Each structure stands twice: as structure tokens, then as C-alpha cells.
Homo-oligomer: A and B are copies of this chain.
Amino acid sequence: MEEGTSKSPGHTPVTDPAYCQKWDPREDCEVRQILDRVADKWSLLVIALLDLRSLRFTELRREIDGISQRMLTVTLRQLERDGLVRRTVHPVVPPRVDYELTPLGATLHDTIEALVTWTEEHRQEIAAARDEYDRRAARTDELVDA
């Protein structure tokens, strides 16, 4: 019936004022939707590259190792829709399309840059933590085998 552990009285909800003011817990909340977009693997790279200079479709494709044509298209469309990237079609042959950050996109880059910087500053620590974790896991597996 009722499990004493997750009952109301002793349970301090994280969804109290201090939390609710910052996070809407609903899955479809606006902030979560935007976070899913800007914290996206490919969006991050596209924005970082476009901050250096405006780029054409093929240039982006070439620079971002591992991205498929489909995902680059999808990512650029999303970023354009969100007003972070401007798409400019030049009426020439062969067609030329330039992508560049909007002022809004540029402000996002500052934040993304911080994330990249953090990653670069702490990658040694993370690599060490991974080694440590994997070594422990290996030892545990040995015990299980025995």
C-alpha cells in the first residue's frame, strides 16, 4: 500500500519555493525546451564555429567531423527558427547560402564558450576519474568471476 519512505511528512520536496522559482518541473516547460536546443551536441558546435565567422553549408559540414547532412540541416533550421542563426541565400549560380550568428546567437556563444573552457580546464581531472572508475569496475568484475 503505502511505503513509509516516500510519504509526505518526512519528504522534503525539491519542488519547494527555492526550486520552483528557477525550474519548471514540467517536461514541456519553455526553459527545458530551449535548454534541449542550446545544450544540443550539434548546436553547440555550430554556434562555436559561426562565432569565428559566417560559414556556408558545406564549410560547416566539413568542419564538424561526424555530422550527417541531415542533422546539419535539421540543426541549422532549428537554430534559425529560434532566432540564433541567420540564413542568407545569395541568388547566384551555383547557389550560395551563408549562415551567421544573430546578435542573440552571439550572446549565447559567450555562455557556450564558458562551457567549453570549463571542459578544457578539467579534462585531466575527468580523464583521471574515468580511469579510477574503470579500474574499480574491472576489479569488481574479477571478484564476480571468482
Contact = CB atoms under 8 A, between A and B. Distances in A.
A112 B115 CA distance: 7
B14 A115 contact: no
A94 interface: yes
Contacts of A62: 6
B120 A111 contact: no
A115 B112 CA distance: 7
Nearest to A77: B133
Given A83-B126, A118-B108, A128-B83, A23 B38 contact: no
| Most B Cβ at <10 Å: residue of A35, A66, A122 | A35
Contacts of A132: 83
A84 B38 CA distance: 21
A133 B118 CA distance: 34
Contact of A39 (B14, B39, B130): B39
A40 interface: yes
Contact of A82 (B22, B23, B84, B130): B130
A41 B30 contact: no
Interface string A23-67: 101110011101110111100110011001101001100111110
Interface of A: 3, 5-6, 14-15, 18-19, 22-23, 25-27, 30-32, 34-36, 38-41, 44-45, 48-49, 52-53, 55, 58-59, 62-66, 80-84, 94, 104, 107-108, 111-112, 114-116, 118-120, 122-123, 125-130, 132-134
